[in-house]
Structure 1
Amino acid sequence: MAEWDVFEVLEPASQRIPLVFNSPHSGRYYPQSFLDQSRLDAHSIRRSEDHFVDELFQSATLIGAPLLRAHFPRAFLDVNREPYELDPRMFEGVLPPHANISSMRVAGGLGTVPRLVAENMEIYRSRVPVEEALARIESIYKPYHATLRKLIARTHVQFGMAVLIDCHSMPGNVHLAGSGQRPDFIIGDRYGTSAAAELSRFAVELLEELGYAVTRNKPYAGGFITEHYGRPTRGLHALQIEINRSLYVDEATLVKKPGFAALATDLATFVTGLARHVEDYGAYLPLAAE
C-alpha cells in the first residue's frame, strides 16, 4: 500500500550504548489521497504531530544509539496503540472480530486509525473503507513494530539489556491537575512497571539539573509502546519522555523557536548522562521495578 518511505532507522556508526530511541509521532508527510479524505486543512491536520521531536533527539546517533522515526503522520496511523484499536463508527464495512472497539482511546477518537486530531477536530469527511484501515495496519503498523522489536532485541543481545526511550511532545497548555504547574518534561514509566524505578528517577534528576520542571507519570504515564516493550525483570526498560512544545515551537505557526538548538543541545547532554548511568549501574537495572 505504502508508496513512500514510511519510516527509517538512523543508525550510529556503531552502537556503543544500550539505548534505543523511537519517535513514532513526528511524521510530517501527508499523502495527498489522505488529505483529500479529510475535512481539515493542511495546517489543522498537523495538530496531533510531535513536531520535530525526531530532530531534537537526532544527536542520539552521534552518541551511539539508533533512532527509529516515522514519516507517516499520527493522524494517518498511530503506532502507539494496539494494532486493532478501531472505532466501528468510522468505517464502511465490518471490522475483524479481534478488533478492540471498546478501549478508552477508541472512545476518545484516538484509536490506531484516529477519528480526531487534537482539540476534538474530526479528520474525515465520510466513512473510511475498512479494507483501507486494515491495509495501513498490515503495510505500516506491523513493519514498524517489527523494526522496533529487532532494534531492541539486537541491543539486548549486544549489551545484556536494552533501554527504549519513546520520544513525544505535549501541548504547551498541559498542566498538573489541581495546580498551575506546567511541566517542561514528563517521564513516564507506567507507574513503575515499564522500567526500573531508579532509572526513571535518574532521568527526572538529569532534566532537573538542566533547569527544567519535570514530573513523573502525571499526566502522561506512557502509552502502548512503553507498556508493551518494558519488561524490567528481563532487562528491557522503556521510558516515555514528553517535551512541552512551547519550549521549542510556535504552536500556531509550527515554526521552530530560537531556543530549538539549545534544547537539542540539552537533550544531547541528557542522552549522554543517561547512557553513562546505565553503563555504570546496569547491574541493578534488570531488577524488578518498584
Structure 2
Amino acid sequence: MNWLHIERSDTPLILAFPHGGTGLAGFDDSFRSRWWAIRDADWHIRALYEGLADATFIWTDISRSVIDCNRDPSGQSLYPGQTTTGLCPTETFDGEPLYRDGYEPDPADRMAWFTPYHAAIRAEIARLREKHGRVVLYDCHSIRSHVPRLFDGELPELNIGTDMGKTCDIALSDAVVAASAGRSHVLNGRFRGGWTTRHYGQPDRGVHAIQMEIAMRAYLDEPSGEPHEQNWPPEWNPDRTAGLRADLAQILAAAMAFAKDPA
C-alpha cells in the first residue's frame, strides 16, 4: 500500500494525518474538476509537523474527496444540524458538486482506503500501550480561516477538540491550551474532534485523543476571498511557518509530558 505511511517511534505520542493527501485513487475522471477534488486538503500539514517531536506518524496520500478517513463509517453526522462533509463527500466545502452526473461514489467501494488507515492507527496504539501506561493520539488538521458555508466569521488560529472533554484527561487538554496561549485559540468550539478523536479517545483505558485544527493563516498566506486555481494552495515557505512550528513544538512537548507522566 504505497499510499499509506507509518513512521514508528517508541514514544507514547502518535500524530495522525487523515486529510493531507491529494491522490484520487484512479477516480480522476469521476470528478468535475481535479482542483475541486483536492482544494480542501489540509495543505502542507505533514511538513508543518515534520521534525517537531519524536513521535509515530501515520498518514494517507488519498484525498478526502475520495474517502474521508475522519468521518464515521456508518455515515452518521459528527455535527448534527450543522453543515459538514460526509464519509464520501459529494460537495466541496463551498458547496460545489464534486462528481459528474452518474459518477457519485459508493462508500462501500471506498473502504479499501479507510479500513487500512484505521487498522494502522489501532495497531500503533496497541503497540505503544504495551510499552506505556498512557498513549496520546494527536490528530492533525488545518482549514481555511474563512469558510462561510461551514462556520461564521474567522476561526481562531488553533482549534482544539476533545468532544467536550470525553476523549482525553482534562490534564492533557489543559496542557495543550496553556501551550497555545500565544495565539488565538479555542477548546471545543466549531471543531470538537472528528471520528478519529471520538473513536479512539478512551482515557479510562489509557488512550487520550485530541484534535488540533489550525486556521491556515497561521502558517500560509491565505488569499482574500474565495480561493481560485491561480492562488491556491499557497506555497510552502519555511520562514513563514517558523513561528507556528515553534509553537507546535511546545504543544507537542506538553502532550508528550502528559503521556510520560506516571500519575
Quote how far apart the aligned CAs of 1:170 are. Answer: 2.2
CA distance in 1, matches of 2:62, 2:193: 21
Q: Percent identity?
A: 29
Quote how far apart the aligned CAs of 1:106 are. Answer: 11
Q: Which residue of 1 aligns with 2:66?
A: 76
Q: Which of the pair is proportionally richer in helix?
A: 1
Query: 2:29 corresponds to which letter in structure 1?
Result: D
CA contact (8 A) 1:20 1:163 kept: yes
Distance 1:212 1:103, change over 3 A: closer
Quote how far apart the aligned CAs of 1:116 are. Answer: 1.1
Quote how far apart the aligned CAs of 1:231 are. Answer: 0.7
CA contact (8 A) 2:45 2:140 kept: yes
Quote the RMSD (CA, aligned, Å).
2.7
Matches within 5 A, 1:251-262: 251=222, 252-254=231-233, 255-257=235-237, 258-262=239-243
CA contact (8 A) 2:5 2:59 kept: yes
TM-score normalized by the length of structure 2: 0.85
Matches within 5 A, 1:90-239: 108=83, 110-128=85-103, 133-137=107-111, 139-173=112-146, 182-208=155-181, 211-239=182-210
CA contact (8 A) 2:135 2:259 kept: no
1:62-98 Cα distance to aligned partner (Å, 9 max, x none): x32101011001111101112242xxxxxxxxxxxxx
Quote how far apart the aligned CAs of 1:262 are. Answer: 3.2
Quote how far apart the aligned CAs of 1:109 are. Answer: 6.6
Quote how far apart the aligned CAs of 1:180 are. Answer: 6.5
Q: Which residue of 2 aligns with 1:265?
A: 246
Distance 1:269 1:120, change over 3 A: same
CA contact (8 A) 1:109 1:116 kept: no
CA contact (8 A) 1:109 1:115 kept: no
Distance 1:149 1:213, change over 3 A: same
> How many residues are aligned here?
252
Q: Which residue of 1 aligns with 2:228?
A: none
Query: 1:9 corresponds to which letter in structure 2?
Result: I
Indicate yes or no: 2:30 matched with 1:56: no
Name stretches of at least 5 consecutive residues in structure 1 with no aligned partner.
Answer: 86-99, 284-290
TM-score normalized by the length of structure 1: 0.78
1:196-219 Cα distance to aligned partner (Å, 9 max, x none): 1121011010121xx211110001
CA contact (8 A) 1:250 1:256 kept: no
Q: Which residue of 1 aligns with 2:29?
A: 36
Among candidates 234, 241, 249, match of residue 220 of structure 2: 249
Q: Which residue of 2 aligns with 1:276?
A: 257
Quote how far apart the aligned CAs of 1:247 are. Answer: 1.6
CA distance in 1, matches of 2:44, 2:153: 27
Distance 1:126 1:104, change over 3 A: farther
Quote how far apart the aligned CAs of 1:256 are. Answer: 2.3
1:32-75 Cα distance to aligned partner (Å, 9 max, x none): x42211112x3332222111111212225xx3210101100111
CA distance in 2, matches of 1:174, 1:250: 16
